[in-house]
């Protein structure tokens, strides 16, 4: 059975938050039974990221096994994640997918979308260091690169999205595939993954 992964994009998302995990999953797809797509909530020809990168998405959000929500723009009043959280539509879609069994992961301030969706209430989670005070209103903030709460996984700032994706590869397909992915990227994995459910 193929693991279907979707990375949801929106105007103002941080480039590396999304493209880091996408590259990890896309490269691993030749060795593991998985597929990854870049999607948007509504049909669009182009999404413009926070630093100006323009991306043509693969389609609209479906019903993936794993959904990755990037961050970007939380510190700006009209920035990407800030705007998305204020609008609420993406959070509603994330909540509905989670209720139907989709595993949800966030990178950086994408955790605030998960919080708005009601997925982090009272749970350990992490985000970019500039947003920890905001996240603390919803979750138990943990100083970690990756916090694995089972069906909800959060990662810290920007480059931690690569560690998130490598961890999810390890969790789903084994350590050998994850280590091969890290070598391919010449990426040194950082920090222990915090797994509150496993630690009891």
Residues assigned a catalytic role: 108
Q: Which of 37, 36, 137 is nearest to 85 (CA)?
A: 137
Cross-strand partners of 153: 105, 148
- Whole-number CA gyration radius for the chain: 15
In this structure, are residues 105 and 153 in contact, taking their beta carbons and an 8 Å threshold? yes
Residues 6+ apart with CB under 8 A from 187: 162, 166
* Polymer length of the chain: 200
Instruction: Please tell me the distance from the alpha carbon of residue 99 to that of residue 102, in angstroms, as a whole number.
Output: 7
In this structure, are residues 114 and 152 in contact, taking their beta carbons and an 8 Å threshold? yes
In this structure, are residues 25 and 34 in contact, taking their beta carbons and an 8 Å threshold? yes
Rounded to 10 deg, the angle between the 80-87 and 89-99 helix axes is 70
In this structure, are residues 125 and 140 in contact, taking their beta carbons and an 8 Å threshold? yes
């Amino acid at each position: 059975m193929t693991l279907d992964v979707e990375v949801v994009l929106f105007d103002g998302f941080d480039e590396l938050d999304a493209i880091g995990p996408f590259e990890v999953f896309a490269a691993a797809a030749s060795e593991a039974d998985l597929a990854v797509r870049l999607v948007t909530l509504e049909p669009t020809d182009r999404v413009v990221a926070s630093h100006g990168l323009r991306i043509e998405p693969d389609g609209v959000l479906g019903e993936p096994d794993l959904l990755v929500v990037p961050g970007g723009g939380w510190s700006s009043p009209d920035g990407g994640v800030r705007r998305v959280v204020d609008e609420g539509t993406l959070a509603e879609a994330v909540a509905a997918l989670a209720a139907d069994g989709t595993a949800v992961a966030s990178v950086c301030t994408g955790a605030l979308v998960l919080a708005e969706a009601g997925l982090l209430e009272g749970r350990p989670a992490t985000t970019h260091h500039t947003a920890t005070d905001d996240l603390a209103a919803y979750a138990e903030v943990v100083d970690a690169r990756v916090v694995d709460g089972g069906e909800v996984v959060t990662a810290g700032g920007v480059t931690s999205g690569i560690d998130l994706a490598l961890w999810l590869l390890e969790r789903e397909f084994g350590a050998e595939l994850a280590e091969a992915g890290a070598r391919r990227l010449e990426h040194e994995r950082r920090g222990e993954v915090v797994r509150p459910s496993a630690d009891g």
